Amino acid sequence: MDIFNQTACQLIKMLQSKEITSRQLVESVIDRIGAVDSKINAFVYVDNTAALEKADEIDARRANGEPLGALAGIPVALKDNLLYCRRPVTCASNILKGYYSSYNATVVEKLIGADAVIIGVANMDEFAMGSSCETSCYGPSRNPWNQDCITGGSSGGSAAAVAADETILALGSDTGGSIRQPSALCGVVGMKPTYGRVSRYGLVAFASSLDQIGPITKSVADNALLLQVISGYDHRDSTSINEDVPDYSASLGESIKGLKIGIPKEYFLYGMDSDIETATKKAIETFQQLGAQPVEISLPYTEYAIATYYIIATAEASANLARFDGVRYGNRAKDADNLIDMYCKTKSQGFGAEVKRRILLGTYVLSSGYYDAYYKKAQKVRTLIRDDFSKAFQKVDCIVAPTSPTSAFKIGEKIDDPLTMYLSDIFTISLNLAGLPGISIPCGFSKDSLPIGLQIIGKPFDESTILRAAYAFEQNTVFHTQKPNLV
């Protein structure tokens, strides 16, 4: 038995019973990274020395019988858009190469407070803009199940690292599906919490009203564990909500008998792969066998979700990314003649094509004369999409849908076709617009042996219910026990 391929919950028991030490665990994970990351490219930065020092510190404290945090000694990977003081953070963009964080993100503070071992920083789409991890300035991460395929994105590095056992836990961020879609494509568990559940302080903003940090893990129980650590109100994030954080692990084993599961009919109209459709329908049957009650629901505004999303997200992004101008930090173009020239060259050289595309789109939709037709209208549709879900949730306890319309596609296959690429998020994007929590769990494999994910969507701040449903499904299926063959 290897140490690195265990779940966090298993490892915590092993550490507590002193079956293993944190040093052994961290060494095992470091060795694993050394063995497979050249194939996967999940990490952009690994700090072995710091990780081992932390592991030793935890071991010493454990030996002294000192109290330890919930994640004591467990390796966690950060996405490259989370600030960790005095460490590099780049958002996988040339414009920030060489930039070091000057403070800790709230989630990083919480990980440190829980005695986690931050093992490194995972690859992503540049500024979280992408669904394939191909827009990274470090090159794409590769899917552990088939290295010719994408990992999904934007948290592709985080999902791939978990799937390839290069870390035990990982954090991602999800603006339109960036945690759930790569989790689905890599066969791991990924959750986007309710907007406001987790502080965004220290997450480099892509689209402020949609971004949310969440856990990517090997199991549902691990997901509950990590969510517990990062959740909660933060006075530094005005949009975080002061709601009690329940004990997510406590209700995991409870029965889902009688749980009403909504099946949105619109989600089956948009040409998903037949493998996906089959796996999703089978998953619904499984739920039924477990005593849950499927109910057909309607989310009529679904078809407008992608358009709405790409207006709101790009509008916010166009302002959020304006600060990367080479004036105060980051990379500044050296050959500029004057201020305007410096702005133009810095941004031209620093940003990749997809980021530029979205900044331009966002600038356009906010421009005078276009604002009402685009941005304002999109905000109205956003409200309608939110209302869709509110109505549905009067009838059901959670909603089940595919996470992604396809399994992992080939690297390079869609990168030149942004509109097709944007469709990758068709099932995930509405949740961000509505602010709802959603979890993706493994629910099968395609004909090409690539993982398929099932998405369970919950009411606002009802992560407990979707975790309970996900756990019940996981405990009664075997998909999560499959591992990619990497060596």
Catalytic residues: 79, 154, 178
Question: Which residue stretch of 1-9, 129-137, 207-215, 276-284 sits at the interface with another protein (rule: CB under 8 A)?
Answer: 207-215
From candidates 23, 200, 358, 459, binder to another protein by CB under 8 A: 200
Question: Pattern 209-228, binding to another protein, x per CB under 8 A?
Answer: x-------------------
Question: Which residue stretch of 135-143, 163-171, 321-329, 465-473 sits at the interface with another protein (rule: CB under 8 A)?
Answer: 321-329
Please tell me whether residue 239 binds another protein under the rule CB under 8 A. yes
Please tell me whether residue 105 binds another protein under the rule CB under 8 A. yes
Question: Pattern 373-392, binding to another protein, x per CB under 8 A?
Answer: --x-----------------
What is the rounded distance in angstroms from the CA atom of residue 334 to the CA atom of residue 99? Answer: 17
Q: Within 297-316, which residues bind another protein (CB under 8 A)?
A: 315-316
Please tell me whether residue 100 binds another protein under the rule CB under 8 A. no
Q: Within 54-83, which residues bind another protein (CB under 8 A)?
A: 81-83
Q: How many residues at the interface with another protein, by CB under 8 A?
A: 44
Please tell me whether residue 204 binds another protein under the rule CB under 8 A. yes
Please tell me whether residue 371 binds another protein under the rule CB under 8 A. yes
Smaller CB separation from another protein, 250 or 339:
339
Smaller CB separation from another protein, 186 or 315:
315
Question: Which residue stretch of 102-110, 129-137, 225-233, 350-358 sits at the interface with another protein (rule: CB under 8 A)?
Answer: 102-110
Please tell me whether residue 349 binds another protein under the rule CB under 8 A. no
Residues of this chain that bind another protein (CB under 8 A) = 81-83, 89, 91, 96, 99, 101-103, 105, 200-205, 207-209, 235-239, 315-316, 318-319, 322-325, 327-329, 339, 343, 363, 366-368, 371, 375
